Structure formats: C-alpha cells, structure tokens
A = this chain, B = another copy of it.
C-alpha cells in the first residue's frame, strides 16, 4: 500500500466511535462523530500556502485532502464540536510508502504540524508528530474498505510516558 491507495481508501464519509483513555485518572471519554474526507487539487491555494509555510516546493505534494468532523463528547455534554484541517502528504522521492505529512491544525495541539509517516508492509499507516511539549503517534488501518481503525497516543515530549490513548472505529457511510 502506498500513499495514493491509502488516501483513495480514506475518501468519503465515516461514522466514528472514539474512546479516549486518560491514563493518569483511568478516565474514559466517549465521542461519536461524522468525518468527511475530500480530495483537494494540488494547485489549491491553501495547499500551496501550507507547503510554502514549511519552505517545501508545492510540486512535491501528492494527494492533499481536507478532513472535517462534527460530533459529541460525553466530556462536555452541552457542546457539539466541529473542525476542519488540510492534510498534505509529501512522499519521499524514492519511496511512496514514507514521507512527511503537513497539517494546518495538529491533533495534539491546534497549531500547524509536520509529521513523519510510514506505511507498513501490512498496510498500517503510522504517523509520528513531535510538538513542543508532546509527541503524537497515530496508527490507521483498514479491516476492509468500509471499516477502518485508528489508534492515537499522546506522549510526553520525551516520548516515554503515554498520557492519553484513544481508539476509533470508523464505518463508511458514503463513498467519495
């Protein structure tokens, strides 16, 4: 599996059930959301601007996409939340299964981020992102084309302590 196939499989609408384990407190958080993943053109101005903000030649971008979500958490029952982010893969020139991933809004922190991805032999997409005070590790794999799993860990920046582990089951509700 390379980044082309991975992004193509991801496109569409997903119904997501997410459980977060806040480990220090043995607290459980439950989130249900709808996630939309739509392709963007490489010549999209937002894609080009994100590349430029990292001094990366926009011609290196492959299969950029937008991810938007809307949902409810039992953490704060009064609120629904929503958000959107642009993701731009920059594959390594010699290896489409690994590279960098630019994001205009990170997972652990709501600031732009740049992570390193690698697609393993079994098809699992692994993304490592380092922030100033934390590190995030995300694994995404497809059980079948209509069901994907996502495991995310938020670690201390030293990388040893895991603060939060979360798990999403995502069922496709609409093809791209």
Contacts and interface: CB of A to CB of B under 8 A. Distances in A.
Interface of A: 15, 17, 19, 21, 23, 26, 28, 30, 32, 120-122, 137, 143-144, 147, 149, 151, 153, 160, 162, 165, 167, 169, 171
Contacts of A17: 21, 23, 26, 28
Given A19-B28, A28-B17, A120-B122, A165 B160 contact: no
Contacts of A147: 162
A8 to B, nearest CB: 20
If over half of A's interface residues share one DSSP class (helix, strand or loop), that class is named, otherwise mixed; here it is strand
How many copies of this chain does the complex contain? 2
A35 to B, nearest CB: 14
- Across chains A and B, which 6 residue pairs bring their CB atoms closest together, nearest first? A19-B19, A167-B167, A165-B169, A21-B169, A17-B21, A28-B30
Contacts of A160: 144
Most B CB contacts (10 A, CB to CB) among A120, A137, A165, A171 go to A165
B153 A151 contact: no
A29 to B, nearest CB: 9
Nearest to A137: B143
Contact of A23 (B21, B26, B28, B169): B169
A90 to B, nearest CB: 23
A108 to B, nearest CB: 16
A171 B22 CA distance: 12
A121 B23 CA distance: 28
A13 to B, nearest CB: 15
A32 B27 CA distance: 10
11 contacts: A17-B26, A19-B28, A19-B30, A23-B171, A28-B28, A28-B30, A120-B120, A137-B143, A147-B162, A149-B151, A149-B165
